[in-house]
Amino acid sequence: MKFLHEFLLLLILAFAIFELVQAQDQTEFISLDCGLVPKDGSYREKLTNISYKSDADFIDSGLPGKINDTYTTRFQQQVWAMRSFPEGQRNCYNFSLTANKKYLIRGTFLYGDYDGLNRPPSFDLYIGPNKWTSVSILGVINGSVHEMIHVVTKKRLEVCLVKTGETTPFISSLELRPLNNNTYLTQRGSLIMVARVYFSSTPSFVRYDEDVHDRTWVPYLDNKNSVLSTDVSVNTDNFYDVPQPVAKTAAVPANRSEPLKIDWILDDITAQSYIYMHFAEIQNLDEANDTREFNITYNDGQAWFSYFRPQNFTITTIYNPRAVSSPNGNFNFTFAMTGNSTLPPLINGFEIYKVLDLEQLETDQDEVSAMVNIKTTYDLSKKVSWQGDPCVPRLYRWEGLNCSYPPSKAEPPRIISLNLSGSNLSGTITPEISKLTQLIEIDLSNNDLSGGIPDFLDTMNLLKIINLSGNPKLNNNSVPIYLQKKIDSKILTLIRDETRKKSTSSPVAAIAASVAGVFALLVILAIVFVVMRRKQKNNEAPGSRSVTAGTVKSDTRSSSSSIITKERKFTYSEVLKMTNNFVRVLGKGGFGTVYHGNLDDAEVAVKMLSHSSAQGYKEFKAEVELLLRVHHRHLVGLVGYCDNGDNLALIYEYMANGDLRENMLGKRGGNVLSWETRMQIAVEAAQGLEYLHNGCRPPMVHRDVKTTNILLNERSQAKLADFGLSRSFPVDGESHVMTVVAGTPGYLDPEYYRTNWLSEKSDVYSFGIVLLEIVTNQPVIDKNRERPHINEWVAFMLTSGDIRSIVDPKLMEDYDKNCVWKVVELALACVNPSSNRRPTMPHVVMELNECLALEIQRKQGSQDTYTKDNSVEFSISSASDFAPRAR
Ligand SMILES: *[C@@H]1O[C@H](CO)[C@@H](O)[C@H](O)[C@H]1NC(C)=O
Ligand SMILES: *[C@@H]1O[C@H](CO)[C@@H](O)[C@H](O)[C@H]1NC(C)=O
Ligand SMILES: *[C@@H]1O[C@H](CO)[C@@H](O)[C@H](O)[C@H]1NC(C)=O
Ligand SMILES: *[C@@H]1O[C@H](CO)[C@@H](O)[C@H](O)[C@H]1NC(C)=O
Ligand SMILES: *[C@@H]1O[C@H](CO)[C@@H](O)[C@H](O)[C@H]1NC(C)=O
Ligand SMILES: *[C@@H]1O[C@H](CO)[C@@H](O)[C@H](O)[C@H]1NC(C)=O
Ligand SMILES: *[C@@H]1O[C@H](CO)[C@@H](O)[C@H](O)[C@H]1NC(C)=O
Ligand SMILES: *[C@@H]1O[C@H](CO)[C@@H](O)[C@H](O)[C@H]1NC(C)=O
Ligand SMILES: *[C@@H]1O[C@H](CO)[C@@H](O)[C@H](O)[C@H]1NC(C)=O
């Protein structure tokens, strides 16, 4: 290290010509309060005036949580909430940034016993495919802050939390700050902050907005040093933008004749280090014979900088352009007066970093973007491992991928096989796959793909195996020319279902005719088995994929309710007997009266189709056709029907506790539905609807989702009723069908009403209205209200920022406010006038489940720590027509 002379140290001076300090605002900052709900929430932190927002747009996974309320007063708001990651090995935040720009990245972790386990976790932090650091939380209220300076080479940046043991990773806040490109230069790698210190006798941190880059400066003073300070403003205008509070104070030795000493130890003895020291003369040297001059040496007298004279009220930064290291990790710096100096040495601030080598290259960027597109095209967000870089680190490679890892570290990993078997893919085979040019093997079997075998497969030269089997809707007839040639010359294997005829002959015949050998035997056995099972247990549709083409997929979670024993066709006299001559009326539906009945010792509801009903018969047939095929825990089951000339009847399982609307209104007696019960009902109804949209083949639109169509059984399980208006619509081609507009005013999707185009998003709209009713217990339309329609009224009331103004007062504020916000926000997304911007039902189910979990967690946890007045205050950005609550 003897070669290190002062000429290797660069001196950065502030130049008077740059005296105009550019006012820098935080517009380029990314400040995430992780786990902040609602997900478009934001606020201005009181101490720093930094504007934090929720992290929801930057990550797909994790659960929001918050620290134990008893600690909140001690900390700034950005650490009150956090996001934890109980699922998956690696969970990643994803940012879109400017390529080749330098950022300061800061993760803050405050455990605060958010999970009530009193067990501070440990886990790893990654930057892209490279490990950044290990995070080890030392105590319940020991915060941990990790900061690095990193040049973003691509437009994308991923920050990942990786589970390393039993404990669950979490993060409280994540902040990104752009830095000047020409500061903190390294020969290679990024910089991990070890310390950033200034000298002050007051124990206050310095950060934004005194530091325009929002670096955090920690005050430091030991008994060997004392503080010098000035009121005069210091010229800090070199590239490093040292904040005024740092520049205006300095350390000098307590004993003038002693040198100034600073030392530290890096636990990683192999670490390469960069050290930045900031100096300014902050004493008036008006007497001509006063001089401050000193030598800086380190580790037993090695020269760092000699004869240094701090500039008069002007910052000079000294740093080493080449990394240094110390064999034992110790760094001892000595600042000693030179012979001509009349004043002791001084220093205003310094920063210590160690180099993080970014050895692992990311996967080929075109392939990464192809994978990301495949993920979105087929909505594979449920794949927990599909986060971060697809191939690296190898340990966290995306499930279903295989990659090649070139031995030379200069080349990126490439994707060589893709297995998406049984991943619920639907639609056509995406051309994005062709961008995976190194693919050898591709398995798309057992999905619901449609369309044909795409031509682009021809261009993928390395392909050896293509598996397209188990995609009943895929048209296998035409194989691209070159593909066929490769198959013929046995270079490539294509596995596919045998071509089926378009005719509607029985599936047994079709399959028996097309397969051969043992396999055929197995399939036939399976069919026989299925058919037999079906005879015995008719409430379940067959489960084997090979015979389900065109029929409804079975749901293993389907109802086990004892009354659904058989699908049956009844005679009118049986109906008379069942209902005891229609003695007890349960209610009147759109198509007729519903009577109570008894069938095989079980109660049933018998809906008689009124003779006057205009499209009666058609609706009846539609409902029978559908309901006999659809079975799901959260859909009201059809027990049987009667089709005797003019007498049409549907016999349903009996829902003892009536509909949601009357329960909400208290017409059923009993208690007010608690928030938890409401959430439970919402989740269940949403699951029923999700099944109609995604579980059925072909998918169905309910078309009349409303609170009176959500029924509760004796155990208050919710089920969706009334498929009278449901109509199958095709999946292929158009995503919606023209139909006669039907539905209930107030619940009707305005886009559907206007355009007459029906899609499942119309149900999402109606479901949003249901959610608003669940929260508010207000009528959907009320002409006497400021805003008659419920969604306009909610949006109007929320301009005050106070959720309580809309929540059903009967709940007596016994709910998790964050959860209510989340539901309201979700509901408003569902009723977005543009159907494209509404969420899908799986998303709705997920959000509601999260909310239910929050509520259950709250109920299980001590109620009194979540005192209503102390709960997190937050505001919503104006983008959704809300204004933050005035403080
Ligand atoms: C906070 O920042 C905003 C804009 O960045 C500014 O208008 C406001 O005056 C600041 N408030 C304080 C207390 O500094
Ligand atoms: C990262 O986010 C961008 C938009 O912010 C998105 O386009 C991209 O698909 C995301 N990448 C991954 C891997 O999720
Ligand atoms: C920043 O500097 C690097 C080299 O040091 C250069 O490659 C890059 O283009 C610069 N980026 C910007 C935004 O100026
Ligand atoms: C919060 O901390 C207090 C005191 O340590 C404890 O009694 C309480 O149970 C905690 N609350 C939760 C929700 O864990
Ligand atoms: C500065 O010089 C004056 C005379 O020129 C002398 O009296 C004084 O002691 C000197 N001060 C110091 C600190 O050397
Ligand atoms: C640095 O100083 C410490 C004591 O502060 C001493 O133990 C250590 O040996 C010194 N290291 C070097 C490299 O001089
Ligand atoms: C140092 O700066 C102060 C104020 O900026 C000035 O009064 C003084 O004369 C300067 N001294 C020298 C030696 O430049
Ligand atoms: C200061 O450093 C120079 C060059 O390294 C050296 O010649 C000189 O003796 C040093 N002075 C003191 C007081 O240490
Ligand atoms: C001290 O100052 C005198 C006069 O300015 C100069 O000649 C001499 O070289 C200086 N000594 C050192 C060690 O810098």
Any idea which ligand is nearest the CA of 862? 4
Two tokens, residue 755: 């355009």
Pocket of ligand 8, candidates 338, 340, 342, 343: which has the most ligand atoms within 8 Å of its Cβ, to mutate? 338
Q: Within 10 A of 869 (CB to CB), how many other CB atoms are there? A: 6
Beta bridge partners of 441: 417, 465
Atom of ligand 9 nearest to the CA of 293: 14
Confirm or reject: Cβ of 201 under 6 Å from ligand 1.
no
Correct CATH for 660-859 of 3.40.50.620, 1.10.510.10, 1.10.10.10, 3.40.640.10: 1.10.510.10
| Residue pair 606/655 in contact by the 8 Å Cβ criterion | no
Angle of helix 817-830 relative to helix 790-797, nearest 10 degrees, comes to: 130
Q: Which CATH architecture has domain 198-358?
A: Sandwich (2.60)
Closest CA to 570 of 644, 502, 460: 644
**Pairwise CA distance, residues 771 & 819, whole Å:** 13
- Is the distance from the beta carbon of residue 180 to the nearest atom of ligand 3 less than 6 Å? no
Cα–ligand 6 centroid distance for 300 (angstroms) = 8
Which residue among 19, 232, 293, 312 has the greatest number of ligand 7 atoms within 8 angstroms of its CB, and so is best to mutate? 312
Any atom of ligand 4 within 6 Å of the Cβ of 870: no
Task: Confirm or reject: Cβ of 68 under 6 Å from ligand 4.
Answer: yes
DSSP structural state of residue 168: P
10-179: what fold? Jelly Rolls (2.60.120)
- Ligand 4 atom with the shortest distance to the CA of 68: 1
The answer to whether residues 177 and 103 touch, using CB atoms and an 8 Å cutoff, is yes
Q: Which two tokens stand for residue 836?
A: 């494209």
- Element housing 90 (H / E): strand 90-96
**CATH code for 396-495?**
3.80.10.10
| Residue 884 vs residues 41, 43, 404, 799: alpha-carbon distances, Å | 9, 8, 51, 8
Label residue 229 left, alpha or beta by phi (over 0 means left) and psi (-120 to 50 means alpha): beta
The Cα–Cα gap between 873 and 109 comes to: 20
Taking the centre of ligand 3 as the mean of its atom positions, its distance from the CA of residue 103, in whole angstroms, is 12
The ligand whose atoms approach the alpha carbon of 332 most closely is: 6
Q: What is the dihedral of CA 846, 851, 852, 856, to 10 degrees?
A: 140
Nearest CA to ligand 5 atom 9: 289
Closest by CA position to 211, among listed 166, 245, 183, 180 = 245
312 lines ligand 7 (CB under 6 A): yes
> Cα-flanking dihedrals φ and ψ of residue 262, to 5°?
-135, 130
Task: For residues 259 and 276, give the distance between their C-alpha atoms in angstroms, rounded to a whole number.
Answer: 20
Over the range 236-265, which residues count as b (16 or more CB within 10 Å of their CB) and which as e? bbbebbbbebbbbbbbbbeeeeebbebebe
| 607 assigned to a ligand binding site | yes
Please say if 357 is a catalytic residue: no
Q: Is 101 in the pocket of ligand 3 (CB under 6 A)?
A: yes
Dihedrals phi, psi of 138, to nearest 5 degrees = -85, -25
R_g of the chain computed on alpha carbons: 34
- DSSP for 353-394 reads EEEE---SPPP-HHHHHHHHHHHHHTT-TT-TT--S-SS-SG
Q: How far apart are the first and last CA of the chain?
A: 58
CA dihedral sign, ordered 483, 485, 488, 491? negative
Which residue's C-alpha comes closest to atom 11 of ligand 6? 330
Q: Which protein residue has the closest C-alpha to ligand 9 atom 6? A: 340
Tell me the three-class secondary structure of 288-304, residue by residue. CCCCECEEEEECCCEEE
Per-residue confidence (pLDDT) for residue 591, from 0 to 100? 64
Task: Spell out the residues 6+ positions from residue 91 whose beta carbon is closer than 8 angstroms to its own.
Answer: 59, 61, 62, 85, 160, 161, 169, 387
Within this chain, domains 10-179 and 198-358 share the same CATH topology: yes
Going by C-beta distance under 8 Å and a sequence separation of 6 or more, which residues neighbour residue 538? 565, 566, 567
Say how many Å lie between the CA of residue 727 and the centre of ligand 5: 101
DSSP-H helix ranges across 391-539: 481-488, 507-514, 517-536
State which ligand 5 atom lies nearest to the alpha carbon of 289.
1
Low-confidence ranges of the chain (pLDDT < 70): 1-24, 287-288, 499-567, 589-591, 610-623, 625-627, 629, 723-743, 756, 860-887
Output the six-digit token pair for 735.
């995503």
Between CA 844 and CA 690 the distance in angstroms is 9
Measured CA to CA, the distance from residue 582 to residue 568 in angstroms comes to 20
The pLDDT value recorded for residue 873 is: 24
Measured CA to CA, the distance from residue 675 to residue 848 in angstroms comes to 12
Q: What whole-number distance in Å separates Cα of residue 762 and Cα of residue 692? A: 13
Measured by CA distance, the residue closest to atom 10 of ligand 9 is 340
Q: pTM for this one?
A: 0.60
Q: What is the DSSP letter of 693?
A: I
Closest CA to 772 of 746, 800, 753, 750: 746
Other Cβ atoms less than 10 A from the Cβ of 706: the count is: 22
Which are the contacts of 802, defined by CB distance < 8 A and separation ≥ 6?
885
Residue located via tokens 């010509």: 17
Q: Closest Cα to atom 7, ligand 5: which residue? A: 289
Residue of the CA atom closest to atom 8 of ligand 6: 330
Helices and strands (DSSP H and E) totals, the chain: 14, 47
Pick the residue whose CA is nearest to atom 2 on ligand 1. Answer: 49
Rounded to the nearest whole angstrom, what is the distance from the C-alpha of residue 307 to the centroid of ligand 6? 24
Calpha distance 839→827 (Å, rounded): 10
Q: Which CATH number fits domain 568-653: 3.30.428.10, 3.30.200.20, 3.20.20.100, 3.40.50.2300?
A: 3.30.200.20
Query: CA-CA distance, 77 to 286, in Å (whole number)?
Result: 47
With the most atoms of ligand 6 within 8 angstroms of its CB, the residue from 269, 332, 334 to mutate is 332
Q: Which atom of ligand 3 is nearest to the CA of 101?
A: 13
How far is the centre of ligand 3, averaged over its atoms, from the C-alpha of 180 (Å)? 10
Q: How far apart are CA 774 and CA 789, in angstroms?
A: 15
Cα-based distances in Å from 254 to 223, 246, 346, 384: 7, 19, 11, 57
- Quick check: CB of 100 below 6 Å from ligand 5? no
Measured from the Cβ of residue 449, the count of other Cβ atoms closer than 10 Å reads 24
Nearest alpha carbon, ligand 1 atom 13? 49
CA of 24 to the centre of ligand 1 (A): 12
Q: How far is CA 58 from CA 33, 39, 40, 93, 214, in A?
A: 11, 10, 11, 5, 21
Q: Is the dihedral of CA 837, 841, 847, 851 positive or negative?
A: positive
Burial class (CB in 10 A: 0-12, 13-18, 19+), 754: exposed
Whole-number Å distance, alpha carbon 417 to ligand 2 midpoint, is 22
Alpha-carbon distance of 158 to 146, in angstroms, equals 15
User: Does 209 sit behind a cis peptide bond, omega within 30 degrees of 0 on the bond before it?
Assistant: yes
Which-ligand-closest: CA of 27? 1
Is any atom of ligand 3 closer than 6 Å to the C-beta of 183? no
Centroid of ligand 3 to alpha carbon of 280 (angstroms): 29
> Ligand 1: which of 42, 44, 45, 49 to mutate, most ligand atoms within 8 Å of CB?
49
d(CA 627, CA 702): 12
Among candidate residues 704, 749, 763, 816, the one labeled active-site is 704
Angle at 80 between CA 78 and CA 85, to 5 degrees: 95
Q: Put the strands of the sheet holding 81-84 in their side by side order.
A: 63-66, 81-84, 170-171
CA 359/CA 132 separation, integer angstroms? 12
Domain boundaries, the chain: 10-179, 198-358, 396-495, 568-653, 660-859
Question: For the residues of 404-438, what is the DSSP string, one character each?
Answer: E--SSTTS--EEEEEE-TTS--EESPPGGGGG-TT
Closest C-alpha residue for ligand 4 atom 13: 861
Q: Evaluate: CB of 46 within 6 angstroms of ligand 1.
A: no
